[in-house]
Amino acid sequence: MSHGRCATELEAIHQDILRMGTLVEEAIFDADRALSGQELLLAQKVIDGDDAIDDLEREIEAACVKLLALRRPLACDLRAVTTVFKVITDLERMGDHAHDIAAIAQRIGADRLIKPLIDIPRMSTLARQMVHESLDAFVRRDVALAQKVCKDDEPIDRLYTELYDELLLFIMQGNDTVRAGQALSLLFAARALERIADHATNIAERVIYLVTGTRVVRDHPSSTEL
Amino acid sequence: MILPEPPKALSLSVTDLSVQIGGKHQLKEISFQVPSGGAISITGPVNSGKSALLWAINGLLYEVPGAKVKGKVQIEHVELQQIPVGEVRQRVGLHITAPLARTPFAEVALPLQGAHLADIGARVEHVLRLVGLWSTVRNQLHQPYSVSNPVLLRLLTLARTIVRLPGILLLDDPTRGLDNMGRARFEDAVANIISTHKMTLVWATREPDQAGRVAETMAFLCNGEMIELGPTASIFERPGDPRTESFLTGDYLTLQSLLNGNNL
């Protein structure tokens, strides 16, 4: 960020993004606890809290449009504004995925879980760490940290693939439609976490562009094609 | 004539151009090319050397007492000093905003004195139409005009600059002090001229916004140095030098400290 004509507005937008990021991290954390610990009140909290994330996205977008209209940012300021547009979309989508996980927790309700959830909390912790670090990289303009976040996507993809195979067996082998339905729900939850990690990767890639001006070109899609 | 006859856009090449006036460096080893019919904006803060560069391209600088010019300016691959001064003045048009005559007709026709042109009236009408002034002044062509109308004055002097259909048009911050509408009108006039006569355009401006509108290639000048040269959109998005970055973002404190640090 420069100390030029957009400095004050961009600083305010930064603060709002951090607020939005904090809400998203909380939502992911709570959604995982709601699912793994079957805490239904927490699930409702995540679902109710999604509006606040959406509101912040709209506020930040409006602030960016105003900045474009009034200050005509150039150079690093221009890259900052275009990056913010992308970052808030990613954050909003993460909020939606947390909402989806919470809804799955509600659907499973108090039913006995078909298996103890180990990989999903692990994925959740990794994804949350990626979200945190991607925003940290954004605020500190830290390319090395952003590159680390991009790499951190792989273990989550791997966990998702393993979980996919495992849950597929539940779905195919059992005659119990309730168990198969729960397996499918858990698969959707794992998929949501995998997508959250992808969005964190997007943010990290935008940070690299923001600092270096070079757009990251992916060799392969970061999300698994399952 | 050494250069191609009008109307013909001329290529421009500046190589290692350095200018000192009164011992002070105005330009330091400036190099760039503009192909025939191309356009470049020269952007930079006040006193960055934009005017000196235009004066050098037009050859006027050689006539400034105490000016030392090194390096080459070539028009259509011919060195400027090998081209007769009269031909340079005719083929390389530098827009001067000062009024030099009392009536619109006399103002615009001024450079045609001594030109072998069958129908001066038709040429004056043609360029007045190009700059969008014909309907405004057609009934007052031979009456004194008001120089206090800045838009009228800028457009009339623009018509005067192009009346001999130069192959290169040099504009030195031509819309300074104009309001939004006047600026738009002037920019439209230039777009109309170069699309009709395919002139090569060198447009100096201190406003980055204008640089973005008038040419897809830009050079950024600072303290007589060319800091950057390249596609305007790329430099606006990703400048390669902190001085350009500071100028574009309006971070004058950082720009000042960068310049002081370099003892420029």
Evaluate whether A210 touches A143 at the Cβ level (below 8 Å): no
* Mean pLDDT, range A119-146, rounded to an integer: 96
Chain B CB contacts of A75 under 8 Å are 236-239, 244-245, 248-249
**Torsion over CA: A217, A129, A47, A170 (sign):** positive
Q: Which CATH class is domain B12-96+166-179+188-261?
A: alpha beta
Q: Do B249 and A76 touch (CB under 8 A)?
A: yes
Predicted pLDDT of residue A3:
80
Question: Quick check: B117 pLDDT over 90?
Answer: no
Pairing of β B12-21 and β B67-75: antiparallel
Question: Quick check: A160 pLDDT over 50?
Answer: yes
Evaluate whether A70 touches A58 at the Cβ level (below 8 Å): no
Band of pLDDT at residue A213, cut at 50, 70 and 90 = very high
* Mean pLDDT, range B157-185, rounded to an integer: 96
Of residues A30 and A114, the one with the higher pLDDT is A30
What is the Cα–Cα distance from A37 to A45, expressed in whole angstroms?
Answer: 14
B256–A contact, CB cutoff 8 A: no
Band of pLDDT at residue A220, cut at 50, 70 and 90 = low
* Mean pLDDT, range B72-98, rounded to an integer: 95
Q: Do A213 and B250 touch (CB under 8 A)?
A: no
Chain A CB contacts of B254 under 8 Å are 2-4
Per-residue b/e over B32-68, b at no fewer than 16 CB within 10 Å? bebebbbbbbbbbbeebbbbbbbbbbbbbbeebeebe
Of residues B3 and A124, the one with the higher pLDDT is A124
Mean pLDDT of chain B: 94
Predicted pLDDT of residue B263:
46
Question: Quick check: A100 pLDDT over 60?
Answer: yes
β-sheet bridge partners, residue B93: B169
Predicted pLDDT of residue A219:
66
Q: Do A3 and B244 touch (CB under 8 A)?
A: no
Q: Do A4 and B250 touch (CB under 8 A)?
A: yes
Question: Quick check: A218 pLDDT over 80?
Answer: no
* Mean pLDDT, range B195-201, rounded to an integer: 94
Mean pLDDT of chain A: 93
Instruction: Report the length, in residues, of chain A.
Output: 226
Predicted pLDDT of residue B115:
79
Of residues A181 and B117, the one with the higher pLDDT is A181
From the number of C-beta atoms within 10 Å of its C-beta (0-12, 13-18, 19+), residue A148 rates as middle
Chain A CB contacts of B244 under 8 Å are 75
Q: Do B254 and A5 touch (CB under 8 A)?
A: no
So what's the ipTM on this one? 0.80
Amino acid at B99: P
β-sheet bridge partners, residue B228: B220
Q: Do A75 and B250 touch (CB under 8 A)?
A: no
* Mean pLDDT, range A93-117, rounded to an integer: 95
Question: Quick check: A223 pLDDT over 60?
Answer: no
Q: Which of A2, A5, A68, A141 best probes binding to B when mutated, by most B CB atoms within 10 angstroms?
A: A2
**What domains, with CATH codes, occur in chain A?**
7-212 (1.20.58.220)
Predicted pLDDT of residue B264:
43
Q: Do A2 and B249 touch (CB under 8 A)?
A: yes
Name the residue of chain A whose CA is nearest to B244's CA: A75
Percent of chain A with pLDDT over 90: 84
Q: Return the H-helix or E-strand segment holding B94.
A: strand B92-94
What is the Cα–Cα distance from B199 to B196, expressed in whole angstroms?
Answer: 8
Per-residue b/e over B147-177, b at no fewer than 16 CB within 10 Å? eeebbbbbbbbbbbbbbbbbbbbbbbbbbee
| A184/chain B closest Cα distance in angstroms | 46
